[in-house]
Each structure stands twice: as structure tokens, then as C-alpha cells.
Structure 1
Amino acid sequence: MTKVHTDITQFRGSHYEFGYAQGTAIKDSLILKNRRDSWRIRKPRFETIEQDAKHAFMRFAPGIWEELLGMRDALGMPMTEVLRDFGHYRVNTTPSGCSILTGNDFMVRNYDYHPKTYDGRYSFFQPTDQGHAIIGPTSRVTGRMDGMNEHGLAMGYNFMQRRKPGDGFVCHMIGRIILETCATVDDAVQLLKEIPHRGSFSYIVLDRHEETYVIEASPRGVEARKSRACTNHFELLKHENRHHLDDSKRRLNLIQEQEGQISAHGAFRLMNDKDRGVFADLYKSWAGTIHTTAYFPKERKAWFALGGNQEPVIFDFASWLRGEDVAIKSVHGTLDTELGLSNAD
């Protein structure tokens, strides 16, 4: 067993100031050291051209470009390295798991991936220059694994396949841009039809109007459908699917058996209890459950737990938006693996 923790970060200010603060926070951290070490082990099989990346950010999320500039200045790194490590544009992703279930007023998600990629940072950010305030766990500092914004739009994404990547953003940044720029599920559908995609993922969005969409996206096309459950295969873009889908379909069947008749707490237990069949310990295969989250668009509250068989920590995002800081500094849990997280090993 490995003890794990996630630090809670809270920031109100401009994107540039946020980027500078994040760069200062990770400058001497294990997160940055492990990120740099990973590139010594495996050379990046992509090239990020700064002007191309800037053009894409300025079209879809100019505030996040300012955030990257702040990180550059705080870290004293060339912009090419900042984009490689934190830009999430044209970088490659690895296979993962993940499961999502929504109700009228909740979204519950298991984030399944490899521990060494995990930041261990849960962010509250309220920009003063542009974009919506966001709550959620970070991915590679600037991206988001899942989350909710001030309008009550909740988002999570699930990996589908990584064949034939395109020139575009990866899921971590696309999820962040959805939360920063969209207020409703319809906004999210429109954005995902316009933004360039690096890989193939489904983005699941729920808003305060009780609408849920699963938006299937690849570099070659985007299709949206109404559904309350999603694992790791497409239903519309079936030609994009991997060949081996048994586990994805097994988890989906388990979730759909409860769909429409389960409470938020029941959905959380379905996802987080180790004996229910959805939680996964496949950490070495890049598909182990690291956290379980829940979002409540109408109340604007969020639940968060690290590892399995946990009771969630509850965050009142609505209160935070009114200026009440969260008192808790970190969340702790255990994973059934000897692998370490990037913030602790």
C-alpha cells in the first residue's frame, strides 16, 4: 500500500499572476523534477512550435496563455519547455481507464490512470481578468482531470484510443478550456466541435439544467449524444474504438444497472467501493483508480476522495466564490500499489 496526498491550492487573481504563483510553488518540487526526469528517459515524439501553440491558445483560451507566460517567468524556463511540460498542445497521451455516472443533479467520476502522472494538487481558481472560476484536481499543473465551474457546469473525460493523433490540444487542457469558457452543455458541444483534438476522448458534461451529454471527440470528428453513463468506448464513433473493449463494457453494464435509480451517495459508493466492480487496482496498466469525485451543479458543491473505500471530503464551492477560503490544506488516502505519485516519490 502507498500513502498518497493531494494539496489544496486557492488563488484569486489574473491568469498571469496565477501562472507565476504556480511556477513559484513547483520550482523546487518533486512534480517538476519528475516531469523533467521523464523526458530524460523517453524523448518527446512530437514538436511544439511556439507560434502555433500561441495561435491556438489565443483563439480558444487567451487567459491560459497568460498563465503559461507567468509560469515561464517564475520558473526561468524557455517557453518551448513550458509548452512541452504544461501546455498540453500536441503532446502525446497514454491509455487510461475512467468511469462516469450522472443523475439530474450530480456527476460522479473515477479517475483511473498511472500514479506517477498524478500531481496531487486540487485547485480553486477565480480569475479576475477573464474566464470562469473553477474547482477540480489538476493534471500537469495547468490541465484539469475533471471539475466544475461557477455556473455549475461539471466536466469529466474518458480515454478512447490514441491511434492517428492530430495537431491539437490533449484532454487535460480541453477539459480546462471547457470549464473556463463554457456555461452550459450546449456551449461545451459547440466548443468541442471547433477546438482541434490531439487524441480520442469522450467528454461528459452536466449543467444546472439537468442536461448531460457525452461528446465523442477524435481528430477526425465530433458527435454528441445524451447519456448518463460512460466508460472507455465510443457508441457513435465506433470505427474509432480499440479492439479490446471487454472491461469497458463490463464497467458500463454495472453502472447502467443502477442508472436512474441511484442517489448521489449511492453512485459514489458504486464507484469508490472496491468490491462493486467499477473501482480498479490496475495501476501498472495505467488504469488504476486514483480518485473519485462528485460534482453538484445546483448546490455548487464538490466531493473528493483518494483511493478506495473512502468517505469524501466535501467542498462548498459556492461559499468559496463568495470569498470564504477552504480551511483544509490536504486530502489523504492509500492506493493498493507500491508505485509513487509525482508529488511524493
Structure 2
Amino acid sequence: MRQEHKTFQAIEVGDGGDGRWAAYARTLWQEMEGLLTEEGRTPQGADRVRALFRTHMPELVPVLDRLAGQLDRPEAEAFLTHAALRPFTQSCTQIGQNGTLLRNYDLRPDQCEGTIVSSCFLRPVIGMQDMLWGLLDGMNDAGLAVSLTWGGRSAYGRGFAILVVVRYLLETCDTVDEAVGRLRSLPVAVPQNLTLVDPTKAVTVFVGPDMSPTVAPDACAANHQHLPVTDEQERALRTQERLRAIRAAGADDVAAMLKPPLYQSVDEQGSRTLYTAHYRPVEGRVTYYWPGESWQQSFGDFTPGSRTVTLGRTS
């Protein structure tokens, strides 16, 4: 298997108002702004996504205003709504069980921000950031953890990128039930699967632009939803194979996540497993794993810094 190196970093940004978040975001802005849709670049499109955000995520409006104002770019507010971003797809496998959330995140290395962020926009949250303030996975101080996988379908509609939805749920919800309730009123642009865990409950919910949020049979997900998986899809994604493997492994078997079939080698598009995250939200603790290496962070002991890891080396 071809090996590759990627640097992950951990940063603290507080409430986003003291310049730390802005200093970091400005270093990424040039590559990020290209992900804004053409509609989002128009005055009418910008007005539409601002209105959508204010309607569905009013609690985060002060944070949006604070962050966009610091970036001081004409398209920053539209971008940060995450309601005018070009769709993207990723693999990933995840399971929630007994207050624990375990997931693998699979994508091309150059398409993943690779930043672990400790923030306190509305409350303490730690997670793997992407698209400047969205989250691929994370936990809050109430003991709620959430992660995402792509739903495996090509549907697309008006709505939010799932990254800001994960952020919103963690900023505003204490429990799985509360988060699932909020999902029922949030328009989502692309089919996605969310696995949610709190001290007493774990569920996976299928969401998308063409369906109402649907609770899955159990609290695990790969890259399909309620529809049958075709042979072609299975050959390309191995989604059913990975789902069977993670069900058999359970939410505490980190070693299984670092080996095939859950640990993905590079595919034709250059996607591969970039990290494994093991959340214990009741303890306020998450450990990120790579073959032969790990990095723990927590609310009580968050350590900024960076790690360069080797991808494509199975343990």
C-alpha cells in the first residue's frame, strides 16, 4: 500500500471573537472560497442563504456575524452559512454504542482540513473541523457526540452542508432526542447519515434533500441509506461490507478500524482512511488514531499543536 504523510493540527479558538479563529481561517480562505457555488456569489443568492440560516439556525446568527466580520471578505458570510457550497462526497464508517462513538473518516488527504478545534461559540465543543467552522465529528460538554457519513446517493437540493448541521446540533442540543427533533426542521443539501450518542442512547439518522429524517435500524452507518445497494455501488464503495464489519466489531474495537476492510487503502480517486476518532463524550474525551499513533484531547486537557502522521500503513 502506498504511504503518504498528512499533518493534523489542534487549535483553540474560544468564542471566535479574539482573532485566533480569524487568523487561522484567513490562511485557508483562498482555497475555500472556490467551493462557493455561483449562486452564492450573487447578491440574490447571498440574501437567500443568509435568510435560510437565520430561519433555521437563529441561535448561531451572532456567531456567524462575528466570524464573517473578522474575515472581512465580501463572500465570507454566504460561505459560512454552508448553504451555498459545492456538494462533496466521502466514504466513512461509524458506530455508536454504550455512550461511545467510533468512526473512520475517508477522503483524499488534500481535501480534508485536518484541524481538531476546541471552541466555545455557544458552549464548549471539540471536534474535527472542516470548511472553516463546520464539523466532521465532535462532542459537547453535555455528553452529546455526533459524526457523519455520506448517504451514497447523488440527490442534491437547497439546504445546508452537513458540516454546519453537526456544528449546530452540538452547539444547541444536550441529548440525542433533542438533536433528532431539531433535524426534522433542517433542510440538508446532500444525503447524509448522522450517528448520535449521549450517555443513554445511540441512533443513526438518514437525512437528505428528498426525504424526511429516518431513524436507521441500528446506530451504525457506512455509505448507504434505506434503498437497496446495487452491485456496482458495492464494488465501488464496499459499504455493506464495511457496515457488517463495524457491527461485528462494536464501538470499542479501535484495532478493527485500523485494519481492512474498515481501514481503506487508496482508491482510484485517491481517497483513503485519514483518521479514526473514538469519542467518549461523557468523559469529555476523544482520541484520534492512526496506525501506530494516537492523539488524545479533552475538555479538561486540550493541547494545541500538530502531528504529522503516516497514512496507508495498516497495523
What TM-score does the superposition give when structure 2 sets the normalisation length? 0.87
1:81 shift after superposition: 4.4
Q: Which amino acid aligns with 1:2?
A: E
AA partner of residue 329 (structure 1): G
Q: Is the 8 A contact 1:150 1:300 kept in 2?
A: yes
1:304 to 288, 297, 305: 288
Q: Please state whether the residue corresponding to 1:47 is helix, strand or coil.
A: helix
Whole-angstrom distance in 1 between the partners of 2:88 and 2:231? 13
Whether the aligned pair in 2 keeps the contact of 1:46 and 1:91 (CA below 8 Å) is no
Q: In the alignment, is the contact (CA less than 8 A) between 1:214 and 1:225 conserved in 2?
A: yes
Correspondence 1:1-345 to 2 at 5 A: 1-13=3-15, 15=16, 17=17, 20-27=19-26, 29=27, 31-36=28-33, 38=34, 44=37, 46-47=39-40, 49-78=45-74, 80-84=75-79, 86-127=80-121, 131-209=122-200, 211-221=201-211, 222-234=213-225, 237-238=226-227, 244-246=233-235, 247-259=238-250, 264=252, 267-272=253-258, 274=259, 276-282=260-266, 285=269, 287-305=271-289, 308-317=290-299, 319-320=300-301, 326-336=302-312
Cα distance in 2 for residues equivalent to 1:182 and 1:241: 36
Do the aligned partners of 1:200 and 1:219 also contact (CA within 8 Å) in 2? Answer: yes
1:340 alignment partner in structure 2: none
Instruction: Tell me the secondary structure at the aligned position of residue 208 of structure 1.
Output: coil
Question: What SS does the corresponding residue of 1:327 show, helix, strand or coil?
Answer: coil
1:89 maps to amino acid: A
Instruction: Indicate how the Cα distance of structure 1 residues 241 and 143 shifts in structure 2: closer, same or farther if over 3 A, else same.
Output: farther
- Shift in alpha-carbon separation, 1:220–1:240, aligned structure 2, 3 A: farther
- The answer for unaligned runs of 5 or more in structure 1 is 321-325, 338-345
Shift of 1:242: 9.8
Tell me the SS of whatever aligns to 1:183: coil
RMSD: 2.6
Identity of aligned residues (%): 19
Q: Which moved more, 1:62-71 or 1:186-195?
A: 62-71
Range moving further from structure 2, 52-61 or 141-150: 52-61
TM-score normalized by the length of structure 1: 0.80
d(CA) in 1 for partners of 2:93 and 2:297? 22
CA offset digits 1:34-62 (Å, max 9, x no partner):
334x46xxx83543622322223223333
Query: CA offsets, 1:211-264, max 9 Å, x none?
Result: 111101111221113513211111xx31798961340011111122234xxx72
| Residues 270-323 of structure 1: CA deviation (Å, up to 9, x unaligned) | 112x3x321112365264111110111221211113xx4133212222x25xxx
Q: Which amino acid is 2:256 matched to?
A: L
- The answer (yes or no) to whether the contact 1:60–1:177 under 8 Å persists in 2 is no
Distance 1:60 1:257 in 2: 38
CA distance in 2, matches of 1:32, 1:105: 36
Task: Supply the distance in 2 between the matched residues of 1:196 and 1:94 (Cα, whole angstroms).
Answer: 16
- Structure 2 contact 9–304 (Cα < 8 Å) conserved: no
- CA distance in structure 2 between the partners assigned to 1:157 and 1:212 by the alignment: 14
Q: Give me the whole-angstrom Cα distance separating, in 2, the residues matched to 1:121 and 1:171.
A: 17
Query: 1:112-151 deviations in whole A, cap 9, x for unaligned?
Result: 1122221121101123xxx332101101111001000111
Long gaps (5+) in structure 2: none
Pair 1:239–1:226, CA change in 2 (3 A): closer
